[in-house]
Amino acid sequence: SQTIHQWPATLVQPVGSPLSLECTVEGTSNPNLYWYRQAAGRGLQLLFYSVGIGQISSEVPQNLSASRPQDRQFILSSKKLLLSDSGFYLCARTDRGTSRNTIYFGEGSWLTVV
What residues make contact with another protein under the rule CB under 8 A?
4, 32, 34, 41-46, 49, 51, 57, 59, 90, 100-108, 110
Phi-psi category of residue 89: left, alpha or beta, with phi > 0 → left and psi -120 to 50 → alpha? beta
Report the residue number, 15 or 72, with the smaller CB distance to another protein.
72
49 burial level (CB within 10 Å; 0-12, 13-18, 19+):
buried
Report the residue number, 29 or 98, with the smaller CB distance to another protein.
98
Minimum Å distance from CB 48 to another protein?
Answer: 10
85 three-state secondary structure: helix
Neighbouring-strand partners of residue 67:
75
Minimum Å distance from CB 16 to another protein?
Answer: 27
Report the residue number, 18 or 21, with the smaller CB distance to another protein.
21
Query: Measured between alpha carbons, how far apart are the two ends of the chain, in Å?
Result: 37
Q: What is d(CA 89, CA 87) in angstroms, rounded to the nearest whole number? A: 6
Report the residue number, 14 or 41, with the smaller CB distance to another protein.
41
Minimum Å distance from CB 74 to another protein?
Answer: 14
Minimum Å distance from CB 65 to another protein?
Answer: 18
